């Protein structure tokens, strides 16, 4: 069968590998649509960083690995001992794997597992393939009629859902999102669905500011030309935003997210960083600000996002900017995301095309 595998920096190939066998406790899935994540792109441009070069503690996988952790598909085989799923079910896949035994897992936070792994990042089990076998508990059933292309964007939306859950969103009227990439735009949609009145987005790209407006932002600013913090203070009677989300991964973005919140406001860091940011501890102490992190998602987040999409509270279609074939994954996928950031948000690979 075909599988898109990462061999090293700048080296992605459509290989022929053995079709997997569905074992006890697993389901075999025919992937339908697969999204390219920013972490996939980061590995392609600068990796391997997270992708294992030696056997992974959970999967035993190592380079080359099959990519694809944002995906939907159809169940084509059910392993022994599996209940609640049947052949023909449409599913979205929850990709994060945990060992269940480390201190984080024992504390009830498997999303922070010390041996964290991913379907589509840590072995030859990935969505960018003709067939994939996964533990059945990672296949989240989609409602009847739920489009499979939207099923592929459930995973990045769950990252945003969890990030918003980590913040004190219930008591927040004004939220600021710094960075209008795929995760930032996903956070905008979740904030809108959760009833936040004022959603401010800071983003340098003209096109992505347009996407932000289309997806629910009430105010958008270009940090290269606008004083974002001053504008937020004007909107909030000089108080600042109640909550902010750092989705840019750069120092200037982090500074904006922190300076733009009110006394005892909360900044949630969602982005992944190559370099450690500098934090203004005096500002944090003087105004009793909170800084928290949000890692991946938790149990129940997939179901919550699926319900929000099915009910119309979230409409992620504007995020999907292109659909391509598997054989086009490097030129029209990874390279397009690297070279056309202003035009692309979420590129989906149509496995059956």
Per-residue tokens: 80: 């022994």
**Which ranges of the chain have pLDDT less than 50?**
none
Q: Which pLDDT score is estimated for 281?
A: 97
Q: Which pLDDT score is estimated for 274?
A: 82
Q: Which pLDDT score is estimated for 12?
A: 97
Q: Which pLDDT score is estimated for 341?
A: 81
Give the closest residue to 269 by CA, choosing from 294, 250, 233: 294
Q: Which pLDDT score is estimated for 342?
A: 83
Each residue's pLDDT tens digit, 78-102: 999 999 999 999 999 999 999 999 9
Q: Which CATH superfamily is domain 157-293 in?
A: NAD(P)-binding Rossmann-like Domain (3.40.50.720)
pTM, 2 dp: 0.96
Annotated domain spans of the chain: 2-153+316-350, 157-293
Only one residue has tokens 């459930």, namely 154
Give the closest residue to 249 by CA, choosing from 215, 206, 293: 293
Residues in the chain: 353
- Architecture, CATH, for domain 2-153+316-350: Alpha-Beta Complex (3.90)
Each residue's pLDDT tens digit, 257-309: 999 999 999 999 999 888 899 999 999 999 999 999 999 999 999 999 999 99
């Amino acid at each position: 069968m075909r599988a898109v595998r990462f061999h090293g920096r700048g080296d992605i190939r459509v290989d022929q590998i053995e079709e997997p066998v569905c074992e006890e406790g697993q389901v075999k899935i025919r992937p339908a649509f697969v999204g390219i994540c920013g972490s996939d792109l980061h590995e392609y441009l600068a990796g391997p960083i997270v992708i294992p070069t030696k056997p992974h503690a959970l999967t035993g996988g190592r380079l080359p690995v099959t990519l694809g952790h944002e995906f939907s598909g159809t169940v084509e085989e059910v392993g022994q001992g599996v209940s609640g799923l049947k052949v023909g079910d449409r599913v979205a896949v929850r990709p994060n794997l945990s060992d269940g035994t480390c201190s984080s897992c024992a504390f009830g936070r498997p999303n922070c597992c010390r041996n964290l792994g991913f379907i589509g990042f840590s072995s030859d089990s990935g969505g960018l393939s003709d067939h994939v076998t996964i533990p059945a508990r990672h296949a989240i059933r989609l409602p009847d009629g739920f489009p499979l292309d939207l099923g592929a964007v459930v995973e990045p939306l769950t990252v945003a859902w969890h990030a918003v859950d980590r913040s004190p969103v219930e008591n927040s009227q004004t939220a600021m999102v710094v960075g209008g990439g795929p995760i930032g735009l996903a956070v905008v949609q979740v904030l809108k669905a959760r009833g936040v009145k004022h959603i401010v987005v800071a983003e340098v790209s003209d096109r992505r500011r347009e996407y932000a407006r289309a997806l629910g932002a009430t105010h958008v600013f270009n940090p290269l030309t606008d004083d974002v913090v001053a504008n937020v203070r004007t909107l909030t009677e000089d108080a600042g935003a109640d909550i902010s989300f750092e989705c840019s991964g750069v120092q200037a973005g982090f500074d904006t997210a922190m300076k733009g919140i009110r006394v005892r406001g909360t900044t949630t860091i969602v982005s992944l960083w190559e370099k450690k940011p500098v934090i203004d501890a005096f500002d944090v102490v003087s105004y009793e600000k909170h800084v928290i992190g949000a890692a991946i998602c938790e149990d129940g987040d997939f179901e919550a996002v699926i319900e929000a999409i099915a009910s119309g509270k979230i409409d992620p279609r504007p995020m999907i900017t292109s659909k391509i074939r598997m054989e086009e994954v490097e030129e029209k996928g990874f390279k397009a995301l690297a070279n056309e950031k202003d035009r692309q948000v979420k590129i989906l690979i149509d496995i059956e095309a």
